[in-house]
Structure 1
Amino acid sequence: MRGHSRRIPVALAGIALAVSLGQATAVAIPPPSIDPGRVPPNSAPSGPKTELRDPCSTTQPVGDLAEVPAPQRALDLESVWPLSTGRGQTVAVIDTGVERHSRLPGLIPGGDYVSAGDGTQDCDAHGTLVAGIIAANRNGQTGFAGVAPDARILSIRQSSNIYRETDGRKDAEGQNAKGVGNVSTLARAIRHAADFPGVTVINISEVACVPAGAGDSATLGAAVDYAARIKDIVVVAAAGNLDSEACRASNPPPNPAAPHASPWDSVTTIATPAWYDDQVLAVGSVNPDGAPSAFTVPGPWVDVAAPGTDITSLDPRRPEPTGLTNSVNGGSVQGTSFAAPYAAGTAALIRSRFPQLNARQVMDRIEQTAHAPAGGWDPFVGHGVIDPAAAVTAEVPGATSPHGAQSTAMAIPDAPTPPDHRPRNVAVAGVGGVAALLGLGLLASFPLRRRLQRDGGETSAG
Structure 2
Amino acid sequence: MTRRLSRLVLATAVVALTASLGEGNAVAVVPAPIDVGLVPPKDSTKVEKRRPCKDAVRVPDGPDVPLAQRDLDFRSVWPISRGAGQTVAVIDTGVARHPRLPDLVDGGDLVGTETGTTDCDAHGTLVAGLIAARQVPGSGFSGGAPDARILAIRQSSSAYSPAGQTDQVDNAGNSVGGYGNVATMAAAIRRAADMGATVINISEVACKTAAEGIGSGDRYLGAAVKYAATVKNVVVVAAAGNFGSAECKIQNPAADPLRPGADLWDSVSTIASPAWYDDYVLTVGSVAPDGTASEFSLAGPWVDVAAPGSGLTSLHPTTGDLTNTVYSAQGSAEPVNGTSFAAPYVSATVALVRSRFPQLSAQQVVARIEATAHAPAEGWNPAVGHGVIDPLAAVSADVPPGGAATDGSARSVSIEALPAVAQPDHRPRDFALAAVGTLAALLILGVLASFPLRRKSQSATQRRN
Q: Same fold by TM-score, threshold 0.5 exceeded?
A: yes
Q: What is the rounded CA distance, in whole Å, between the counterparts of 1:168 and 1:30 in structure 2?
A: 33
Q: CA RMSD in A?
A: 2.5
3-state SS of 1:316 partner: coil
Q: Which amino acid aligns with 2:242?
A: N
Q: Is the 8 A contact 2:346 2:389 kept in 1?
A: yes
Q: What is the rounded CA distance, in whole Å, between the counterparts of 2:404 and 2:282 in structure 1?
A: 22
Q: Name structure 2 gaps, 5 residues minimum.
A: 7-21, 328-332, 406-465
Q: What is the rounded CA distance, in whole Å, between the counterparts of 2:203 and 2:117 in structure 1?
A: 17
Q: Is the 8 A contact 1:371 1:383 kept in 2?
A: yes
3-state SS of 2:141 partner: coil
Q: Which amino acid aligns with 2:45?
A: P
Equivalent of 2:387 in 378, 384, 403: 384
Q: What is the rounded CA distance, in whole Å, between the counterparts of 1:131 and 1:59 in structure 2?
A: 15
Q: Which residue of 2 aligns with 1:190?
A: 189
- Superposed displacement of residue 47, structure 1: 5.8
Q: Which residue of 1 aligns with 2:419?
A: none
Q: Is the 8 A contact 1:53 1:176 kept in 2?
A: no
Q: Which residue of 2 aligns with 1:299?
A: 300
Q: Would the alpha carbon gap of residues 349 and 3 (structure 1) be closer, same or farther in structure 2, given more than 3 Å must change?
A: farther
Is 1:179 paired with 2:188? no
Q: What is the rounded CA distance, in whole Å, between the counterparts of 1:32 and 1:383 in structure 2?
A: 25
Equivalent of 1:85 in 82, 87, 102: 82
Q: Is the 8 A contact 1:49 1:165 kept in 2?
A: yes
- Superposed displacement of residue 219, structure 1: 1.0
3-state SS of 1:338 partner: helix
Q: Which residue of 2 aligns with 1:13?
A: none
3-state SS of 2:185 partner: helix
Equivalent of 1:324 in 322, 331, 352: 322
Q: Would the alpha carbon gap of residues 258 and 76 (structure 1) be closer, same or farther in structure 2, given more than 3 Å must change?
A: same
Q: Which amino acid aligns with 1:261?
A: A
1:148-176 Cα distance to aligned partner (Å, 9 max, x none):
1000000000001121121388999x973
Q: What is the rounded CA distance, in whole Å, between the counterparts of 2:39 and 2:209 in structure 1?
A: 23
Q: Name structure 1 gaps, 5 residues minimum.
A: 7-21, 403-462
- Superposed displacement of residue 62, structure 1: 1.6
Q: What is the rounded CA distance, in whole Å, between the counterparts of 2:162 and 2:31 in structure 1?
A: 34
Higher relative contact order at CA 8 Å, sep ≥6: structure 1 or structure 2?
1
3-state SS of 1:129 partner: helix
Give 1:224-263 correspondences, 5 Å limit.
224-263=225-264
Q: Is the 8 A contact 2:132 2:150 kept in 1?
A: yes
Q: What is the rounded CA distance, in whole Å, between the counterparts of 1:5 and 1:222 in structure 2?
A: 15
- Superposed displacement of residue 237, structure 1: 0.2
Q: Which residue of 2 aligns with 1:162?
A: 159
Q: Which amino acid aligns with 1:340?
A: A
- Superposition TM-score, scaled by structure 2 size: 0.78
Q: Would the alpha carbon gap of residues 126 and 170 (structure 1) be closer, same or farther in structure 2, given more than 3 Å must change?
A: closer
Q: What is the rounded CA distance, in whole Å, between the counterparts of 2:376 and 2:397 in structure 1?
A: 19
Give 1:380-419 correspondences, 5 Å limit.
380-398=383-401
- Percent sequence identity is 59
1:32-76 Cα distance to aligned partner (Å, 9 max, x none):
5312232347x7xx6632222222111112245222111100001
Q: Would the alpha carbon gap of residues 185 and 372 (structure 1) be closer, same or farther in structure 2, given more than 3 Å must change?
A: same
Give 1:307-386 correspondences, 5 Å limit.
307-318=308-319, 320=320, 323-329=321-327, 330-386=333-389
Q: Which residue of 1 aligns with 2:49?
A: 52
3-state SS of 1:341 partner: helix
Give 1:61-140 correspondences, 5 Å limit.
61-63=58-60, 65-140=62-137
Q: Would the alpha carbon gap of residues 113 and 306 (structure 1) be closer, same or farther in structure 2, given more than 3 Å must change?
A: same
- Superposition TM-score, scaled by structure 1 size: 0.78
3-state SS of 1:199 partner: coil
Q: What is the rounded CA distance, in whole Å, between the counterparts of 1:118 and 1:380 in structure 2?
A: 36
Q: What is the rounded CA distance, in whole Å, between the counterparts of 2:374 and 2:366 in structure 1?
A: 15
Q: What is the rounded CA distance, in whole Å, between the counterparts of 1:228 and 1:346 in structure 2?
A: 17
Q: What is the rounded CA distance, in whole Å, between the counterparts of 2:90 and 2:261 in structure 1?
A: 37
Q: Which residue of 2 aligns with 1:28?
A: 28
3-state SS of 1:285 partner: strand
